[in-house]
Amino acid sequence: MDVLNFGSIKSVVLPNDWLADSEQNTGVMKMRCFHPRAHDDVEIAFFQKMQGVLESAIKDFREILACGPHKIVEGGTELIQLSPVMGNAGNHQWSNKTRGPRGPNFRYTLGEIIDLQGRKVLRVKGSFVEPESKKPQNEYCGIFIDSGSENNLVQEVYLQVPSKYGYFQFEKYVDAFSETLSTIVWT
């Protein structure tokens, strides 16, 4: 299944047996979602908030992308600088030290700048958790794309799998997701 024209993405090929949900284009986000026939709660989403991020945050993002492929070290300055562009995943254990119900809703496990089909993007893995109990709810793997110098918009493509399916199932879907990402043709 081909998906065309989502911001910086000219085209991308999804697994054949995945189904498309209707596009969402609300006052706050634009999103196209796809899910496998077997699990309609598993999703690969093409996602973009309608609001740009702050000037300072996009500047940091661009500078870190420009450094080329490298790991984003846990607890490092770069991770804190990148948090504002990471949306809900930016509220993680390194950016929010609060405990209890106001604690972080994302557990960050991996971040790196990668070269994806000739374009530098930020790749992040982790889990959405219930802030108080820390119980994992959704496993997450996604990329963040600088959508261009003419605006402050950040586009995302992510895989989200309910934690109830277990980590091995998640990793299987990560393989399918990675294969999908490898077919991206940029505008």
Interacting residue ranges for other proteins, rule: CB under 8 A: 1-5, 11, 19-32, 45, 47, 49-52, 54, 56, 84, 87-89, 91, 96, 101-102, 105, 128, 130-131, 137-138, 140, 142, 151-152, 156, 158, 160
Give whichever of 116 and 142 is closer to other proteins, judged by the CB atom: 142
Give whichever of 96 and 109 is closer to other proteins, judged by the CB atom: 96
Name the burial class of residue 159, with classes exposed (0-12), middle (13-18) and buried (19+) by CB atoms within 10 angstroms of its CB: buried
With CA atoms as reference, report the closest residue to 20 among 39, 41, 36, 4: 36
Give whichever of 29 and 174 is closer to other proteins, judged by the CB atom: 29
Give whichever of 88 and 182 is closer to other proteins, judged by the CB atom: 88
Give whichever of 45 and 113 is closer to other proteins, judged by the CB atom: 45
Neighbours of 131 (CB within 10 A): 18
**Six-digit token pair at 54?**
């702050």
Least distance from C-beta 80 to other proteins, angstroms?
Answer: 13
Least distance from C-beta 7 to other proteins, angstroms?
Answer: 10
Least distance from C-beta 140 to other proteins, angstroms?
Answer: 6
Give whichever of 6 and 70 is closer to other proteins, judged by the CB atom: 6
Least distance from C-beta 178 to other proteins, angstroms?
Answer: 17
| Amino acid at the residue 118 | G
Neighbours of 44 (CB within 10 A): 26
Least distance from C-beta 187 to other proteins, angstroms?
Answer: 10
Integer Cα distance of 137 and 106 in angstroms? 10
Counting other chains too, the contacts that 128-135 makes at CB distance below 8 Å and 24 or more residues apart are 128/88, 128/89, 128/160, 129/104, 129/105, 130/105, 131/100, 131/101, 131/102, 131/103, 131/104, 131/105, 132/100, 132/101, 132/103, 134/107
Least distance from C-beta 134 to other proteins, angstroms?
Answer: 11
